Structure 1
Amino acid sequence: MLRTATKPRNLALLAVAVLVVIAFVQLGRWQLGVAEDEALRESLERARSQQPVAVETVLRPHSDFPGELSTRPVTATGEFGTDQVVVANRRLDGRTGFWVVAPLRVASTGATLPVLRGFVTSPSDLPPVPSGSVTVTGGLAPPESPYAGQAPPEGQLGSVDTSVLVGRWPGDLYNAFVFQQEESPAAPPTTLGSMERVPTPSGETGFKWRNAAYAFQWWAFALFALYMWWRIVRDEKRDDDEAAAEVLEASGDNGARE
């Protein structure tokens, strides 16, 4: 079998089969990624459609962020701290600017919740935080990854990274932030200046079984390509053995006649 498999023709067929397998495996991985993206998108849509609940009922300070809470509408009641931060290099409606993030000390837990109040085009346009007790409503989001690019200017952040904020804002901290959409009592428009609210991201990615089935089909095709190569080698080996047996039989008959 090995001698037949290592014939130049069969080695060339094996190389073709390996290329086909690689292509089919990659196509299967792509379809599986589509399946996961579609499923997560549906999960996020379901989360966004729910009625807002108090943040302390779904999340605890310092706890890991559950993925199913992404975009979940929540409310939080407390008082804002004045130590706002700006996150550089953010986009809104084709413009580059800054996110304005402020600490909200939640009254029921005493922990700080980072609140993305809005978007400004200049870090000098920060509106003051509301005074007194306020209730904010918006979509939850997990903390962003640590910023790996060139360090932003002094006083600015590269991402909403709670591992950085916990060193800046004392006390317990929620491992999440909120895309604020509303606040009560509502702030007068004159106090907001040029700041604009940032919509809660809709999310780009749950699980579609149809696409998953397509992925398994591609992987089955990959296995079939290897199987077909093995069949070709096996059949060729069988033909070689039969031909050798016929030659041996013919030579034996000739010897007997002599």
Structure 2
Amino acid sequence: MLRTALRPRFLGLLALVIAVGIAFGFLGRWQLGVAESTAHREAVEQARAQAPAELTTVLEPHAPFRDDLSSRPVTATGRYAATGQLLVPGRLLDGVPGLWVLTPFVVDASGATLPVVRGFVTDPADAGSPPAGTLTIAGGLAPGESPVSEPVPEGQIGSVDLSLLVNSWPGDLYNAFVFLEAEDPATGPGLTRVPTPLADTSIQWRNAAYAVQWWVFALFAFWVWFRMVREEARRAAAGQAPEPDGTASGAIAVTQPAAGTPVGAGDNGARDD
């Protein structure tokens, strides 16, 4: 089979198949990139298109966090608690390491506490105290984060773990937290805001399926070439195999009489008139 594959005709076909396979591979990768960028763009557009809703109309204290609430813009009126502020270490903002400032916000309409990421600092001493008085805050919702096992210093929490906050802050707790975007009345220059993460930036499966199809086509081209080589090798092997009597398969053996051998009457010899 290797000898058949090395024939000029099949080597030329192999070169063509390789070129087609490379082209299909690049097309698949391009389609996958389209899937990723499309998902990101749609997530941004979806987040921006939603009008802010009053928190109590979309979520109740201790209620499960629904998937459709991720990145949902909300507003809430209340006041920051005087105590209980925590720092969340190990965070990045534009590639800069630092900490989130996590502050309890008591919502007037429900009396429950909403964790609010007021901003980002690189030095714990810059966190400061939350503004006093009644405020209306606006920001994007997010579900609680997974627990972190690493120990952290006093006044810090490894992640926005709501199961820890419910035991640390008094009263009812919302099963979500907010990335602060604005306060009314404005409190002047303060902490660096942390943008609300997008709800969903996973790939679009339709475009991803197109990418897989291109890769399957590339593999199919190699498979067709392999089948052609194998069938040609089988035909060549079948044509070279001799029959047991030394004659070609299907041939009819004809015996000629030896020279000078008389032919008997009735055996197509000359007739006496």
Same-fold status (TM-score > 0.5): yes
- Partner residue in 1 for 2:223: 226
| Residues 120 and 196 in structure 1, CA contact (< 8 A), matched pair in contact too | yes
- Partner residue in 2 for 1:186: 186
- Partner residue in 2 for 1:106: 107
- Partner residue in 1 for 2:238: 241
SS at match of 1:88: strand
Deviation at 1:245? 7.1
- The structure with the greater share of residues assigned to helix is 1
Q: Distance in 1 between matches of 2:170 and 2:225?
A: 66
Gaps of 5+ in 1: 1-6
Q: Distance in 1 between matches of 2:4 and 2:54?
A: 67
Higher mean C-alpha displacement, 79-88 vs 35-44: 35-44
Structure 1 pair 233–145 and aligned structure 2 pair: CA distance change class (3 A) = farther
For 1:113, the aligned partner's letter is: L
- Partner residue in 1 for 2:248: 250
Q: Distance in 2 between matches of 1:56 and 1:109?
A: 7
| Residues 39 and 200 in structure 2, CA contact (< 8 A), matched pair in contact too | no
Gaps of 5+ in 2: 6-13, 257-273
SS at match of 1:157: coil
Q: 1:207 aligns with which of 204, 207, 211?
A: 204
Question: Which protein shows a greater Rg?
Answer: 2
Q: Distance in 2 between matches of 1:173 and 1:27?
A: 50
For 2:230, the aligned partner's letter is: V
For 2:175, the aligned partner's letter is: N
- Partner residue in 2 for 1:167: 167
Structure 1 pair 252–46 and aligned structure 2 pair: CA distance change class (3 A) = closer
- Partner residue in 2 for 1:155: 155
Root mean square deviation of aligned Cα: 4.1
- The within-5 A match list for 1:49-128 is 49-60=49-60, 61-66=62-67, 68-81=68-81, 82-92=83-93, 95-128=96-129
- Partner residue in 2 for 1:3: none
Structure 1 pair 105–29 and aligned structure 2 pair: CA distance change class (3 A) = farther
Q: Distance in 1 between matches of 2:217 and 2:87?
A: 51
SS at match of 2:140: strand
- Partner residue in 2 for 1:4: none
For 2:154, the aligned partner's letter is: E
| Residues 43 and 198 in structure 2, CA contact (< 8 A), matched pair in contact too | no
| Residues 47 and 69 in structure 1, CA contact (< 8 A), matched pair in contact too | no
Q: Deviations over 1:17-55 (max 9, x none)?
A: 9xxx9xx89995885475145324312332123321112
- Partner residue in 2 for 1:198: 194
SS at match of 1:214: helix
- 2:144 is aligned with 1:143: yes
* Number of aligned residues: 240
